[in-house]
Amino acid sequence: MDISERGYANPDLLWSADFLKARSAQPGLKIIDTRPAEQFAKGRIPGARHFDLYFVNTDDTDPAPLASFTRMWANLLGWRGVQETDTIVFYGGFTDMCAARGFWFTEYLGHSDVHVLDGGITAWADAGLPLETESDPPKPVKFVCRPVMETVATYSSILSAIDDPECVIVDNRSHDEFTGADRRALHGGAIPTAKHRDWEDLYDSESGCMKDADQLREAFETLEALPDKEITLYCNTGYRSAHAYLALRLLNYPRIRNYVGSWQEWGNRSGLPIWKP
C-alpha cells in the first residue's frame, strides 16, 4: 500500500524509495544509513553517509549528562556533513528502530525537515534502484541544535507522570522484558502504570513498512493512549520506543516523549519504583 493510501495525518514523515530517488539531486539532501558498517560497505543508497547509531546511548538523564549527550549527538551529525538546514532522510534495513531513533533524535535537536525511508534499503533494492560501494567521505560541518525538551522524557519526568491521569506510559519492549522474565538490567520488570505495546506490532513483517493509520491508532487506543494525553514511551535503550514515537507522529499525536535512558537507566538506578505485571 502506498504511503498516501495509509491514512496518516503526517504522511510526509515517510518517504518511499521512488520519492527519494526523484529528489536525490536536491540541494541540501542528506541521506543517512544507520546499518552496521559491514552492511554499509557492501552496498548503500548513492550519496548516503554512514552513522551506525545503535550503541550511541545514555543511561543518565540528569540535566548535565543529558545536555552532554545531546551535544555529542549534534557533533556526530556535524562530523557526517549534516547541518540543521538540511533535508535529512534516515534509513535502515527496513522501517526499523535505528532509522526511527535517528528521526526522533533529530526532531529532539530542533530540526523538523527529517524523514524515514519506508521499507528501508530493502524497499530501495526491491524497486530496482542502484546501490554504490565507493564514495568520498563527507566534509565535517557544524550542526546547530536547539533541543525541544517536550519530546524527551527523563527519569524525573516519568516519576511525575506515573500518577498523573493526563499521562500514559507505554513500554515498547517484548512481553518477557515487560514482565521481568527477560531481565536486561540490574532489576527486571516495568515502570509502574505502564501499558505494553511491543514495537513489532507497529510495522508489517513482510514488507518492513509501517502499518497503516487505522492499525497504528488501534494499537495505542486499546491502551487508552489517546491523542489528548501526554504519551511517554520507553524500551531498553530508547530505540524501539523511538519507533513508536514515529508511529505516533504519523498519527499527529501532539504530546509525545521518548525516554532516552529507558530501562538501562530505570532498571539500574537505585530508588526508582518497579512493578512486575
Q: For the chain, what percent of residues have pLDDT higher than 90? A: 97
Say yes or no: 154 and 122 in one domain: no
Give tens-digit pLDDT for 153-185: 999 999 999 999 999 999 999 999 999 999 999
Across residues 251-261, what is the average pLDDT? Answer: 99
Rounded to whole angstroms, the Cα distance separating 159 from 151 reads: 16
Say yes or no: 199 and 108 in one domain: no
Residue 213 C-alpha cell reads as: 493509520
Q: Is the pLDDT of residue 51 over 90?
A: yes
Across residues 14-39, what is the average pLDDT? Answer: 97
DSSP the chain: --GGGS--SSGGGEE-HHHHHHTTT-TTEEEEE-S-HHHHHH-B-TTPEE---TT---S--SHHHHHHHHHHHHHHHHHTT--TTSEEEEE-SSS-HHHHHHHHHHHHTT---EEEETTHHHHHHHTT---BS--PPPPP--------GGGEE-HHHHHHHTT-TTEEEEE-S-HHHHHTSS--SSS-SB-TT-EE--GGGGB-TTT-SBPPHHHHHHHHHTTT--TTSEEEEE-SSSSHHHHHHHHHHHTT-S-EEEESSHHHHHTTSTT---B--
Classify residue 232: in a domain, yes or no.
Answer: yes
Say yes or no: 160 and 256 in one domain: yes
Domain membership of residue 71 as a residue range: 3-126
Enumerate residues 6+ apart whose C-beta is below 8 A from 11: 3, 4, 250
Q: Residue 130: beta bridge partners?
A: none
Q: What confidence tier does 55 reach under pLDDT thresholds 50, 70, 90? A: confident
Say yes or no: 12 and 92 in one domain: yes
Across residues 6-30, what is the average pLDDT? Answer: 97
pLDDT of residue 54: 87
Rounded to whole angstroms, the Cα distance separating 1 from 118 reads: 11
Q: Give the domain CATH number at 110.
A: 3.40.250.10
What's the total number of domains in the chain? Answer: 2
Classify residue 273: in a domain, yes or no.
Answer: no
pLDDT of residue 78: 97
Say yes or no: 20 and 114 in one domain: yes
Classify residue 228: in a domain, yes or no.
Answer: yes
Say yes or no: 10 and 106 in one domain: yes
Pairing mode, strands 29-33 and 87-91: parallel
Classify residue 54: in a domain, yes or no.
Answer: yes
To 5 degrees, how large is the angle CA 47–CA 49–CA 51?
A: 160
Given 91, 126, 161, the domain boundary residue is 126
Q: Is the pLDDT of residue 1 over 90?
A: no
Q: What confidence tier does 224 reach under pLDDT thresholds 50, 70, 90? A: very high
pTM above 0.85, yes or no: yes
Classify residue 190: in a domain, yes or no.
Answer: yes
Say yes or no: 194 and 252 in one domain: yes
Classify residue 194: in a domain, yes or no.
Answer: yes
Say yes or no: 240 and 188 in one domain: yes
Rounded to whole angstroms, the Cα distance separating 144 from 79 reads: 12
Say yes or no: 156 and 115 in one domain: no
First to last CA, the chain: 37
Classify residue 137: in a domain, yes or no.
Answer: no
Enumerate residues 6+ apart whose C-beta is below 8 A from 194: 169, 170, 171, 178, 234
Given 126, 160, 193, the domain boundary residue is 126
Say yes or no: 79 and 23 in one domain: yes
Classify residue 256: in a domain, yes or no.
Answer: yes
Say yes or no: 115 and 158 in one domain: no
Say yes or no: 191 and 232 in one domain: yes
